[in-house]
């Protein structure tokens, strides 16, 4: 699938982007091992979360999609998951694979986790090493998927400092730690999203978290909860930047999650001169939410503070686009983790921006981007949903038509992304290659 985007004047409007991907995965996994029935509203029906849903069903969890984005699941309790019959195919989802590695480590059975070509190239030693220390046995292809997780009912809690800032690794250890004897202590090198910690508390678990150190007793039980999933800030970032780089536009993004471990993108854009206001601040359970009012702004280049990277980890493709449309030079550093996301995002973005005639220098852990006007042309998303969406936004301000190849994976996180852009007046069509 490809996008063809024509230069477009963005209109003002109101957009509700789909539910948060990280929270949707966690609601399913934690709800599955809780006691009682959990109801999830505004669940993300993107392919990544549907892979988690299918995997849980394969382990005997009854999950009903009540209507489009409304899900009810009957928890089976901590020890109620059943051995799956076949392999669990997690598609493109690193979150599903790493969190399941943790959850399955505490089970009395073995299970095999596979994924698509991109997921098969993503490093898993970061979860295998600490989960092995807890007592699980995990086979892999030299640290890469497929993983065969041999669960152990007698896991032990560990005291572990994460070598890389990763909410996925932290969450895997918390899931395994729920089953372990003794306490689990986790220290993070930088703050990462804390949705697992918040949802564990909402489901009655005990844990403390202070200055990047988490302490959680093992052998806990969870109780079902009703969870309303905020709109995903990582998806909202695309119409947000589209509005900022437009000539004239004011876009209101409704009900967006503004958990402070996720709002690095807003902070970075504001430092570039963006006008973004948070309105109607409220809580959906443990998660802060607001409506975001975004006005077309004159962005200027900055040196992006590497201290904000872990708080904006998924937003760098679209931040590169904001930088490309800003006045002056923007320098990004400390982005080494981007090389092991759904694609090598530094390289994919630099290549695409160059293909649109912009001046960009790639560095080992970032890029230097000179603001300008993109030319029309052809870019390849490398099968990465966020790279595809970032270029669709850049294309609204290009000099000519932009064709973006390999965009089917946008469905992993933002079903009907093209429809959302069209609702703001963007001329985007989806077509099969060669059409």
Site residues (vs ligand S3P, CB under 6 A):
22, 95, 166-168, 171, 193, 313-314, 337
CB of 194 to ligand S3P, least distance (A): 10
CB closer to ligand S3P out of 287 and 291: 287
Cβ proximity of 58 and 85 under 8 Å: yes
* Structure tokens that stand for 226 in this block: 């009703």
Residue 267 burial class via C-beta count within 10 angstroms: exposed 0-12, middle 13-18, buried 19 and up: middle
CA distance 419 to 428: 8
CA distance 25 to 195: 10
CB of 168 to ligand S3P, least distance (A): 3
CB of 340 to ligand S3P, least distance (A): 8
CA distance 96 to 10: 35
CB closer to ligand S3P out of 245 and 388: 388
CB closer to ligand S3P out of 22 and 184: 22
CA distance 189 to 113: 28
Range list of H helices, 7-145: 21-32, 47-58, 94-105, 117-120, 125-133
CB closer to ligand S3P out of 38 and 171: 171
Instruction: Compute the residue count for the chain.
Output: 435
Cβ proximity of 367 and 320 under 8 Å: yes
* Structure tokens that stand for 152 in this block: 């152990």
Could you tell me which residues come within 8 angstroms of residue 211 by beta carbon, excluding any fewer than 6 positions away? none
CB of 277 to ligand S3P, least distance (A): 26
CB closer to ligand S3P out of 95 and 118: 95
* Structure tokens that stand for 68 in this block: 């489009």
Residue 435 burial class via C-beta count within 10 angstroms: exposed 0-12, middle 13-18, buried 19 and up: exposed
CB of 18 to ligand S3P, least distance (A): 14
The conformational region for residue 27 under phi > 0 = left, psi -120 to 50 = alpha, else beta, is alpha
Q: What is the CA radius of gyration of the chain?
A: 21
CB closer to ligand S3P out of 140 and 168: 168
CB closer to ligand S3P out of 336 and 400: 336
Active site residues: 314
What is the DSSP code string of 115-155? --HHHHTS--HHHHHHHHHTT-EEEEETTEEEEEEE--TT-
CB of 401 to ligand S3P, least distance (A): 30
CB of 166 to ligand S3P, least distance (A): 3
Which of 269, 157, 258 has the alpha carbon at shortest distance from 217? 157
Residue 233: helix, strand or coil by DSSP?
helix
């Amino acid at each position: 699938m490809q996008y063809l985007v024509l230069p477009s004047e963005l209109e003002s409007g109101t957009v509700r982007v789909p539910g948060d991907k990280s929270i949707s995965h966690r609601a399913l996994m934690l709800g599955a091992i809780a006691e009682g029935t959990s109801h999830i509203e505004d669940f993300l029906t993107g392919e990544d979360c549907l892979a988690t849903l299918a995997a849980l069903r394969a382990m005997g969890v009854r999950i009903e999609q009540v209507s489009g984005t409304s899900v009810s699941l009957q928890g089976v309790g901590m020890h109620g998951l059943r051995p799956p019959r076949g392999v669990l195919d997690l598609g493109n989802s690193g979150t599903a694979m790493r969190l399941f590695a943790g959850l399955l480590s505490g089970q009395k059975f073995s299970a095999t986790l596979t994924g698509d070509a991109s997921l098969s190239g993503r490093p898993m030693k970061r979860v295998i090493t600490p989960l092995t220390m807890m007592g699980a046995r995990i086979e892999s292809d030299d640290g890469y998927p497929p993983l065969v997780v041999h669960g152990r009912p007698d896991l032990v809690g560990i005291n572990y400092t994460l070598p890389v800032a990763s909410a996925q690794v932290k969450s895997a250890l918390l899931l395994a730690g729920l089953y372990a004897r003794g306490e689990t202590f986790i220290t993070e090198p930088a703050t990462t999203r804390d949705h697992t910690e918040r949802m564990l508390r909402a489901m009655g678990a005990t844990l403390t978290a202070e200055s990047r150190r988490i302490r959680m007793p093992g052998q806990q039980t969870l109780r079902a909860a009703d969870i309303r999933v905020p709109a995903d800030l990582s998806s909202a970032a695309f119409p947000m930047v589209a509005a900022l780089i437009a000539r004239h536009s004011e876009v209101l993004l409704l009900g967006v999650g503004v958990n402070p471990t996720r709002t690095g993108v807003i902070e970075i854009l504001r430092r570039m001169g963006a006008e973004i206001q948070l309105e109607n601040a409220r809580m959906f359970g443990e998660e802060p939410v607001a409506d975001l009012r975004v006005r077309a702004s004159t962005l200027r280049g900055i040196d992006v503070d590497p201290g904000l990277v872990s708080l904006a980890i998924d937003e760098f493709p679209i931040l590169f686009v904001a930088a490309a449309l800003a006045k002056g030079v923007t320098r990004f550093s400390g982005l080494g983790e981007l090389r092991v996301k759904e694609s090598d995002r530094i390289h994919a973005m630099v290549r695409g921006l160059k293909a649109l005639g912009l001046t960009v220098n790639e560095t080992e852990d970032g890029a230097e981007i000179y603001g300008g006007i993109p030319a029309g042309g052809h870019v390849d998303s490398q099968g990465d949903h966020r790279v595809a969406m970032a270029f669709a936004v850049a294309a609204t301000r290009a000099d000519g038509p932009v064709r973006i190849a390999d965009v089917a994976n946008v469905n992993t996180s933002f079903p009907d992304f093209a429809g959302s852009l069209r609702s703001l007046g963007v001329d985007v069509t989806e077509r099969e290659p060669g059409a």
